[in-house]
Amino acid sequence: MTIPSSNPLTPAPPLPSHQLSVLIGEEELKRRIEELAQEISADLREKDPVIVCVLKGAFVFVADLIRKLDLPVTTEFIRVSSYGNNVVTSGEVKLELDLANSVAGRHLVLVEDIVDTGLTLQYLRANLQARGPASIRVCALLHKPDNNVKLSTIDYVGFNIPSKFVVGYGLDYQGYYRNLPYIAQIQDLQ
């Protein structure tokens, strides 16, 4: 086994330095997440729902959302990829991490960070439907209606946004910017 050298002369990769413009501020996010939690709580009060977090992008959103829900829930995680390090989808969805437990007979709330073309959502719905849940509802923090070529239905939408590449609040560009407490548009991406 080769251990990587910690040669101090090897330069670290450059950190990104993009111009960001805030699209949705921190307080606006908090208000809307509270409203979404109230809607979900009212709709699923007697249903014992499973919140299915789509990793990695939705983890910040799910953490805040479930703390605002006024009902008992369990949480599962699934990870798919269709972007890689690109700013546009590859058109192919790959399952990278599956649910840990059965969801048969359960009411699911699939929580996405963003619905863009609808391709990932279409894949996830079909994948989860094959497992025999009682129902599947979708909650997306962000939706780009102009790009939703699959015409995917979303039950709970945080914000409709323009067809721009956004980061922050869990969404990233090449792994960076997930920690921003707001949603921002990167100005200088091609």
- Whether 51 and 76 have beta carbons less than 8 Å apart is answered as yes
* pLDDT grade for 83, boundaries at 50, 70 and 90: low
| CA-derived radius of gyration, the chain | 18
Question: Cα dihedral sign for 27, 50, 76, 158?
Answer: negative
**Residue 96 falls within a domain, yes or no?**
yes
Which region among 5-19, 58-72, 137-151, 153-167 has the lowest average model confidence (pLDDT)? Answer: 5-19
Q: What's the CATH code of the domain at 35?
A: 3.40.50.2020
Number of domains in the chain: 1
**Residue 36 falls within a domain, yes or no?**
yes
Q: Is the pLDDT of residue 42 over 70?
A: yes
**Residue 14 falls within a domain, yes or no?**
no
- Whether 87 and 94 have beta carbons less than 8 Å apart is answered as no
CA distance 186 to 183: 10
Which of 71 and 148 is assigned the larger pLDDT?
Answer: 71
**Residue 16 falls within a domain, yes or no?**
no
Tens digits of per-residue pLDDT, 166-178? 999 999 998 999 9
Element spanning 124, H or E: helix 119-129
DSSP 117: S
Tens digits of per-residue pLDDT, 124-142? 999 999 999 999 999 999 9
Rounded alpha-carbon distances, angstroms, from residue 14 to 54, 81, 104, 176 = 29, 25, 46, 12
**Residue 7 falls within a domain, yes or no?**
no
The predicted model gives 44-67 an average pLDDT of 96
* pLDDT grade for 4, boundaries at 50, 70 and 90: very low
* pLDDT grade for 106, boundaries at 50, 70 and 90: very high
**Residue 4 falls within a domain, yes or no?**
no
SS3 call for 50? strand
Catalytic residue, from 64, 70, 98, 116: name it. 116
Tens digits of per-residue pLDDT, 6-39? 555 666 566 667 889 999 999 999 999 999 999 9
**Residue 132 falls within a domain, yes or no?**
yes
Structural domain including 144 reads 23-186
Q: Is the pLDDT of residue 82 over 80?
A: no
Question: Is residue 116 among the annotated active site residues?
Answer: yes
Tens digits of per-residue pLDDT, 88-98? 555 688 888 88
**Residue 103 falls within a domain, yes or no?**
yes
